[in-house]
Every structure is written in C-alpha cells, then in structure tokens.
Structure 1
Amino acid sequence: MYPVKAAAELSGLTPETLRAWERRHGAVVPIRDAQGRRLYDAAMVERLAKLHRLTDRGHPIRDLARLDDAALDALLEERRNAGYGGLDGLPGQLLDAVADYRVDVFDRELSVAIATLPLPVLLARVVMPLLGEVGQRWADGRLAIAQERLVSSMLRARLLSILNQHPRERRPRVLFATLSGEPHELGLLGAALHLHELGQPVLYLGTELPAPELARVANRLGAASVAVSSVDPGQARAALDALRELDAALDPGIPVWLGGANARYLGEALALPRVRAVTDPQVFARHVSHARRAA
C-alpha cells in the first residue's frame, strides 16, 4: 500500500493532480487506514499510470475516469497501433515478392518490420494478415505449395529469433509445443510471442512432440504451465489420447492450455481439471498471469 506522495510519484503525477482526479472524477477510490489516511494498492497505481499516459495523448480525464481497466488497455493499444501507417499493404507486398521468388525482398522487408515494429503491432498488422492472405491465395491457386512452404519457413525462422533472445531464462516457463501428428505451428508461435511480449518467460519446443517427452521436459524444468495447439481435425482423436497421457505424466500443479481449431472440442471431451481450452491470446495471457501469482 502506498501513501499519496508515493502513489503520485510511481504513476508520474503530482499529489495535487492525483487528489483532483480522485475528488472530481472518481478515477480511483483509495483505502483509508485507521488514521483516515488515503492508501493506494499496486492496481490503483497502475491505473493512474495508464490514465496519465492517455491524458498526455489528449484524452480528457473526465472521459477516461469512468472507463474500466480493460477499456483503458484497449485505448492504449489502439493509440499505439494508429501510429504505424502504411502497414496495410505490406502483407500483400511480401506475398507478391514470394510469388516472383524474390526471396531476398521478402526476407529484407520482413526483417525490417520485425526490427522496427512493436511486437503487438507486428502480429496484428503484419503476421496475422499475412497468414490470412497466404490461405486465400493458396485456395484460389495464386500461390503454389512450394511458395506457401517458403513463406511459412521464413516467417517461422524470423519469429523464433525473437523468442530465442533469452535462452538462459531460469524462472518457471510456459512450454509451447504441438503433439505428435500436428505439424501446424504458426498460431502456436504467435501465442508464444504474445506471452513473451508481456514479460512471461516462455520456452518454445516446436512441433510433433510426443506427450511423454513433453511431460518429461515440463517436470524436469518445473514449468509454470504447458501450452499445446491442435489444428488438424483428422488428429483430434489422437490428440485426445495424447492429452490423457500428458495429464497422467505431468507433475501436479502444472496446468495445460489448449489452443487451435480443435481446442474447444478437446477441452469438453476430456473434462480434465487441469486442461483448459483458450483461443484468445489476451485471455490466455491473463490466465497464465493469474496462475503464476497464485503459485
């Protein structure tokens, strides 16, 4: 708990501004101690810092104060993304380069985007639209199988380089993998990058890892949790057996998160306490964060 002066300093405000926001707009509701002094917890300080950033960008405090924390986060993300114009055409330009087998152009433009864009902007404005365009062009015959494989392999290599910047991370990590028979990984890789951007330690193990081996690694490292993706409908039955095997082999207290097109079906069919389907990266990040704090 922080007194007024400390809460103001941590959030970048003056004590006078903090008191005015509290009194006039109800931006936060402090706790009173036995002597009647106002105290602020960490969540209140974080909220005040968000309000400070947004008022600096021109939003009036009277409008912001009535928003909840999720709405403030969305507004901050919207403002951050809006600062990067000219990105809408980049996925198409990248695929045009691949269509002409100009691999050097594709790699150069992708590398520049990775080096210059914040990760949330990169994923939302470049990577996900690029994957959608790949699927569309492959379906209508504008992209050959070899070209689709080329995009996937180059994108995978560049994105993995982001995750591998801290290979000696020792804290309990979230392990990411697909099970045997599941070669599709770009969605899984995107989820790992999203968690990495939020400061959660991750370890990306790749595709087609047998359940006993995944459990062995998780138990040996004392993993915070295990994230598994299942996309291929033809592998759903095999995934059920593999997940039951994983559940039996994992140490107690290690949750399993399911993502991908099969996640909801697998979660409902298994009905295992530690196995949970989650398809929204932001919801997934909140669950992982809450689980770590509880531990």
Structure 2
Amino acid sequence: MSEQAMDPASAPLYPIREVSRLTGVNSVTLRAWERRYGLIRPQRTPKGHRLYAREDIQRVERILQWLNRGVPVSQVRDLLEQSEPAANDAPPPDISDWESQRQQLLQAVDTLDGELLETLFNRSMALYPTSVCIAELWQPVVDRLEERWSDQFGAELQRRQLESFLRTRIGMRLYHANHVTGGARLLLVRLPEERDLLRTLLLALAASASGFRVEWLETDLPINELALAAERFKVDALVMTSGHAERSDLIRRQLPRLGEQLDVPLCLVGPVTRIRGAELENTQVASLGDDLPAALSRLHGLLGR
C-alpha cells in the first residue's frame, strides 16, 4: 500500500520522507518536533506510518522561519498560535535560550566533559536544522574559544578534545550523507596556518546539509599536490578555509597559480577572505566569504546547481 493517499476526493497526504525532501528537515527532527514539543500532528496509517497534509508542510515552513531567526524550539509553539513572523519583524525579546546553550557548550569544553558534549551535540542536531545549529551555537562557540585559547593554559588540550569529538561525529554524518546525496562533490582543505580542523569540520557539516557530497583531508597537503588530489577525488570544486591571514606568498602567488592549474573552481571560505580577499581579485580564486550559508549559496551558484 502506498503511504501517499490516492483518494481524489480528499486532500493529498505525504509520507515523512517526502516532507523531509520538500522542507529540508530530516525525519529525526520532524519526529522530535512532534514527540517533544507537539509542533506538528501528522495523521497515521493503520500500520502507524506518519502522513502529513499540506497544512502540516506549511506549518513546518513556519517553524523554520522562527528557528532561522534564532528562536529556540521550546518557544515556537506559542508563537505559532499567536501569529506568523513577518519578514521585517524583529524576533520577540527575551525568548531565545541560545546564549544559555552556548554557555553550556563552553562549560563542556572547559571541563573536558565528553558526556555533556555528546548530549548538546545530539540535542541540537535533532531539534534544529543544521544551518541553524552552526550559526547559532557551534560557530559562535568556536569563535569564542579561539579568542580564549590565544593565551589560556590548557588551551591545546581543550582544542584537541573538541576537535576529536567533532571529527568523529561529523565524519559519521558525512559518510552516511555521501551515500544518499547526489549533489556536487567538494574537497575541503585547510590552509597551512589553520591550527586545527574545527573550521573545516563545521564547513563540512554545513556543506553536507546544503546538498554537497564532501571529502576532506585531515592533514596538510603540499600545495603542488592539490591539483592531483582534486583530479583523483573527481571533485567539482576545491574549497580551502582558514581563520588566519596566511603568508603573502601563498595568497599572492601560490593560490592564484593553483587556480589556473585546476579544471574545477578553487574557493576560499572563512575569515581569510575578509583579510585577503582584495588581493585575490582578478585571479582564478573565488572568495566566498565568512558566513557559511551565504558562502555555500554562492558556491551553488558558481557551480550552476
């Protein structure tokens, strides 16, 4: 029996996989919104499979509007009952608990609390779209940590523990996503002065959620071997990231030369684009910016997909 209703006399109903495809919200999150917060109430088949009406899909889209503006999922139900968010309206004051979640995450890193890290990662990824998790929680926390780590005793231990944690969790997500995603393939590489993988890992997670298939290199690779890597991995773009200024010779000579050698676009993402972007104008290197959603949107446009 098909899970999509076929009775022409009734409104169409959609299975959860189709709702996930239409809205971009994964099935785990849709079930969590239903079970934990009662945000949506799908119908059920006799076998218990969820069926969603068009009104449910519209409600999911309204939920996303609120979440994308920083409203925590625990507050969305009341807002849905009150009104829909207007495009130019500011979020209602004093309802966001993102700062509280950031403080919890900072505490978990400070105390090397792996169990709390696991809880916060799983909870955030289950309840929010990946882009919202990164923009509201993980990227702000990594930015704060990098400021602290410049002169804090024990910083290297905290850095490596968080990197190890995220490498495992995000690596698993990429492995499974790459098997079901048909998007363009990216190779992500950090530039030489980037000390850890944190920025690369968040970029990989965001790119995967945006529909790309992602390969990434854990260790540095000589610049003169990157063209070979792009060819062997059969990628559609080579994306490099860094939070540092990087060496002038790398920016002014080596990257433009690499861009000319590649048969696919060479792109930069991260603070390095703000610092050095002007020096890369009129070269084959595309500076996509520091904001991950905007950078990935530009990359989709660059690849014509």
2-structure distance, mates of 1:174, 1:56: 28
Stretches of structure 2 that go unaligned for 5 or more consecutive residues are 1-10, 15-53, 76-96
Residue 58 (structure 2) pairs with residue 53 (structure 1): yes
Question: In structure 2, how many angstroms separate the alpha carbons of the residues matched to 1:216 and 1:222?
Answer: 10
Partner of 1:174: 186
Output the CA distance in 2 between the equivalents of 1:175 and 1:191.
11
Distance change >3 Å, CA 166–CA 273, structure 1 → 2: same
Deviations 1:128-161 (A, max 9, x none): 2321332354357486432233223323332333
Q: CA deviation at 1:87?
A: 4.3
Contact 2:243 2:272 in 1 (8 A): yes
**Structure 1 residue aligned with 2:271:** 261
Matched, 1:83 2:93: no
Distance in 2 (CA, whole Å) between partners of 1:292 and 1:134 is 33
Query: What is the Cα deviation at residue 54 of structure 1?
Result: 6.5
| Structure-1 residue corresponding to 2:241 | 229
Consecutive unaligned residues in structure 1, runs of 5 or more: 1-8, 13-48, 59-72
Partner of residue 144, structure 2: 133
3-state SS of 1:174 partner:
strand
**1:173, distance to aligned residue in structure 2 (A):** 0.8
Q: Does 1:274 align with 2:284?
A: yes
How far residue 126 of structure 1 moved from its aligned partner, in angstroms, is 2.1
Distance in 1 of aligned mates of 2:141 and 2:275? 27
**Partner SS, residue 68 of structure 2:** helix
Q: Per-residue displacement from partner, 1:151-179 (whole Å, max 9, x unpaired)?
A: 23323332333222244567641221123
Does residue 123 (structure 1) correspond to residue 134 (structure 2)? The answer is yes
Match of 1:200 among 212, 228, 243: 212
**What aligned pairs does 1:13-28 form with structure 2 within 5 A after superposition?**
none
Structure 1 residue 116: Cα displacement: 4.3
* Distance change in 2, residues 1:272/1:186 (3 Å): farther
Q: Give me the whole-angstrom Cα distance separating, in 1, the residues matched to 2:217 and 2:262.
A: 16
1:162 aligns with 2:180: no
Partner amino acid for 2:250? A
Q: 1:9-48 maps to which residues of 2 (within 5 A)? A: none
1:65 is aligned to: none
> Match for 1:110 among 87, 108, 121?
121
Identity of aligned residues (%): 24
Residue-by-residue CA offset, 1:253-289 (whole Å, 9 max, x unaligned): x112112222245443243443111213233222222
Counterpart amino acid of residue 106 in structure 2: L
Q: Give the deviation of 1:245 after TM superposition.
A: 3.7
Q: 1:276 to 1:100 in 2, by over 3 A?
A: closer
Which amino acid counterpart does residue 190 of structure 1 have in structure 2?
L
Q: Does 1:147 align with 2:158?
A: yes
Cα distance change of structure 1 residues 209 and 183 upon mapping to structure 2, 3 Å threshold? farther
Task: Give the Cα–Cα distance (whole angstroms) in 2 for the partners of residues 283 and 129 of structure 1.
Answer: 16
Q: Is 2:297 the counterpart of 1:292?
A: no
For the residues of structure 2 that align with 1:102 and 1:203, how far apart are their CA atoms? 29
Q: Deviations over 1:42-84 (max 9, x none)?
A: xxxxxxx99x8279859xxxxxxxxxxxxxx9x4653685424
The aligned counterpart of 1:216 is: 228
Does structure 2 retain, via aligned residues, the 8 Å contact 1:175–1:223?
yes
Deviation for aligned residue 1:101: 3.7
The whole-number CA distance in structure 2 between the counterparts of 1:125 and 1:55 is 19
Paired residues in the alignment total: 231
1:285–1:144 distance in 2 versus 1, CA, 3 Å:
closer
Q: What is the CA deviation profile of residues 70-124 of structure 1, one whole-angstrom value per residue up to 9, with x for unaligned ones?
A: xxx9x46536854246443223223323433433333343344334443123212
TM-score (norm 1): 0.63
